[in-house]
Amino acid sequence: MLLGLKVILFLALHLLPGMKSSMVNLNNNGYDGIVIAINPNVTEDEKLIQNIKEMVTEASVYLFHATKRRVYFRTVNILIPMTWKSKSEYLMPKQESYDQADVIVANPYLKYGDDPYTLQYGQCGEKGQYIHFTPNFLLSNNLPIYGSRGRVFVHEWAHLRWGVFDEYNEDRPFYISSKNTVEATRCSTRITGKNMVFQCQGGSCITKPCRRDSQTGLYKAKCTFIPEKSQTARESIMFMQSLDSVTEFCTAKTHNTEAPNLQNKMCNRRSTWDVIMASDDFQNASPMTGRNLPPLPTFSLLKAKQRVVCLVLDKSGSMNSEFRLLRMNQAAEVYLIQIIEKGSLVGMVTFESSATIQNNLIELTDENTYQNITANLPQVAGGGTSICSGLKAGFQVITQSGQSTSGSEIVLLTDGEDDKISSCFAEVKRSGAIIHTIALGPSAAKELEALSNMTGGHRFFAHKDINGLIDAFSRVSSRSGNITQQAIQLESKALNITGGKWIIGTVPVDSTVGDDTFFVVTWTIQKPEILLQDPKGKKYKTSDFREEKLNIRSARLQIPGIAETGTWTYSLHNNYENSQMLTVTVTTRARSPTTLPVIVNSHMSQNTAHYPSPMIVYARVSQGFLPVLGINVTAFIETEDGHQVILELRDNGAGADIVKNDGIYSRYFTHYHGNGRYSLKVHAQARKSTARLSLRQQNKALYIPGYIDNDKIILNPPRPEVKDDMAEAEVEDFSRLTSGGSFTVSGAPPPGDNTHVFPPSKITDLEAKFKEDHIQLSWTAPGNVLDEGKAKSYIIRISKHFLNRQEDFDNATLVNTSSLIPKGAGSIENFEFKQELSKIENGTKFYIAIRAINEANLVSEISNIAQATKLILPQEPSVPALGTKISGIRLAILGLAVILSVF
């Protein structure tokens, strides 16, 4: 059961914790509710909307044929940003928002490239995050490079909706096939073309023969596969949708299992069509009968509205315990003063057995309006718990202020049990409101999260310390896509300090942030002494921190202007004779509207898990749309009884992590500690200039350098070049904290039960090469339990035949690994052995695979298949055409210098 481990993931959208709440539904073969959102920073352009409509309309027909008459696009919502002018045809959005859109239209960061791509980091078959198109891609003529926009959209939709992967590989564009031919990495192999190196200068280019590397037998760098313009192959859309003949996905019959691409790596060499057919969409989607095409898509233009938020806060009797009322007020105050964006409309409701409207919607414009709302935070707790009463009063606050509940947000915080919560589910659905839920303590209503799930809101769980609540409130940020408006947490720390003791900490403030910066200290019994020093030595004392009049035991300092860049140092002295809990929270915003800050978004792979299903922790660290590499990312997972698990997340392309160095840090979570709610918090930190910014994107439409048309090479305009020293740019030291929301576990063993049920994770990066008569292997070590700990041993097998099945592996020759002692998970393993099977002649090829065994004798899945070829090239290497034998002669056309014009 566990050896064929498959993790079912439902992933979050960029900038949102928890499960992504896409509004797309498939009904009677048609996709409804697709959201395409335009970023607020995109210049208003009517042509952009028109081209989006044309792209989707074309894509619908292409998709219909590609899926053999199964699905098409029926209804699409285009979300217009608030920054654009209002028009009579623009409708009011419901729960549609930029942050939960399926497709976003936004400028590229650093103006690098217009490659369409899909943010995708789940396992095979799992939905992606979003598709990103740039305005330039949608407005320019990209037909020679990517093919039509409709075809590109279908390529990206397959990434997003069905979790398939690209069938090309820019890092390994060629491989040696089992037939001893040098092949371009593609699907299917029926797509024809030629391999060449071309050098362009000015307005002309020359081509040169591709030369082979003596170690690998493959072509050296800059050798490129140029496809024939005219093809007969109909597949595959995930390789080169730009070819006119390509109208299908690769099937089991046409799939190239040998190609070293991400589809084969992630999906165990299954074809894209097999993965698509296994998706939920296709379980009940039969082909449409008849010969007619589906109806054209219908489009609705929605214009984002002013943000409307109503706090619905529990003040029942149970809020008296464990300082809960105090902690709620402290966190709500941070939210109102530091987190929510200026210009938002905010109301407040408190509830126990009944609900009370504390204030209708107030526009946050200055300090007075903040004070008017915070003054209504409840000071006394008592009574029962009626969550539905609170929600209904929240709806009333919104409508009484002349706003629609549709698209408005409610932040619901409660610690109480309520068995009648389901009685208002129907009204909640009708309202169109987005409900974010915060469960405080272990007794909060068990159906609470259903409210978030049905409305596309966040879900959080907070245990005992104030930080869990502040972290939750901090993630309920703007959904408009304007990152520079959003509050960013730099510090969130709870400290239990003994009487009379000092504690010292540091917080780096990097140059991408510093506006609207707050340092907040809270306490449970007596105010501590506070000292704060900026990077230039300026000091702030306790008297500089403002203590609110509501007696909620918090003191706040807003740094004037822009906070100094560098390391800030804080010191807290517990003046009380006994221990007390002190907390430090630091929030800030982007330094300027044109500065994109580094942000961190985290979530679990599932909102609910049933043991023994493993889960994955994800954290994406980015600046704009570019990944940030080389930093320390730590996940803190806490249970209802306060038990905490700490995991160091990795971006090494092994274990739970799909792609190395893509800024997505991942790790399996298997440390179940009983049933109930768990919370996730992530800290990302860059120290000593180890962070760097990568300009590479994954899962994108393939850029086509040119075509061969009637034996003539026609090159496309060159793509923007990235110099080697710019491919990775340094990022200064920074610190970020974020909540990843909550998840619920059932069926878990009691705490302390350490029964091993998980095998080591699959090895996915096995590499092999010959060194004289020895074969050298390298791979990333898995763990004893998935990607944690240390495996007990390895099984390595070798064959002259491709190891395509489990039986192939079992029947292959066993390699002696008695001297191989496994290292800890994440370490690089190296192993060398001599193959004694037979005489190894020039051109001999071996296939090698590996499995790991743990202490419970559970065995990992078979690794990727590595290939080692014994190759001795002549001094003047031959240059075969695509698909010719390695020993073949060079292609005559490639021996010529051809002058080409670039248009």
> Counting Cβ atoms within 10 Å, is residue 724 exposed (0-12), middle (13-18) or buried (19+)?
exposed
- Per the DSSP assignment, residues forming a β-bridge with 649 are 633
Q: β-pairing, 608-610 with 734-746?
A: parallel
**Is residue 400 within 8 Å of 425, Cβ to Cβ?**
no
Q: Read out DSSP for 588-624?
A: EEESSTTPPPEEEEEEES-SEEETT--EEEEEEEEET
Q: How many other C-beta atoms are found inside a 10 Å radius of the C-beta of residue 892? A: 8
Q: How far apart are CA 441 and CA 439, in angstroms?
A: 6
Task: Check residue 144 and report its DSSP letter.
Answer: H
Q: β-pairing, 566-573 with 644-649?
A: unpaired
**Helix segments in 516-667, DSSP class H:** none
Helix, strand and coil percent figures for the chain, each rounded to 5: 20, 35, 50
User: What are the φ and ψ backbone dihedral angles of 706, each rounded to 5 degrees?
Assistant: 170, -175
Cβ contacts of 529 within 8 Å, gap of 6 or more? 542, 572, 573, 575
**Is residue 474 within 8 Å of 587, Cβ to Cβ?**
yes
- Report the number of secondary-structure helices (H) and strands (E) in the chain: 15, 50
The single-letter code of the amino acid at 541 is: K
Tokens of 605: 């792979």
Q: Where are the beta strands (DSSP E) in 335-433?
A: 345-351, 355-363, 409-414
Task: Check residue 440 and report its DSSP letter.
Answer: E
**Helix segments in 432-568, DSSP class H:** 448-455, 466-475
- Is 235 labeled as catalytic in the residue annotation? no
For residue 867, the surrounding DSSP H or E stretch is strand 866-869
The residue from 156, 235, 449, 548 that is catalytic is 156
Going from the C-alpha of 412 to that of each of 328, 397, 406, 448, 549, the distances in angstroms are 11, 14, 17, 9, 25
Give the torsion sign (CA, 181, 187, 192, 194). negative
For residue 732, the surrounding DSSP H or E stretch is none
Q: How many other C-beta atoms are found inside a 10 Å radius of the C-beta of residue 754? A: 8
Q: How far apart are CA 664 and CA 558, in angstroms?
A: 33
Tokens of 436: 């974010």
Q: How far apart are CA 460 and CA 463, in angstroms?
A: 10
Q: How far apart are CA 158 and CA 373, in angstroms?
A: 47
Question: Is 76 strand, coil or helix?
Answer: strand
Going from the C-alpha of 318 to that of each of 325, 443, 552, 650, the distances in angstroms are 9, 10, 18, 40
CA 173 to chain centre: 26
Q: Would you please indicate which residues are annotated as catalytic (active-site) residues?
A: 156
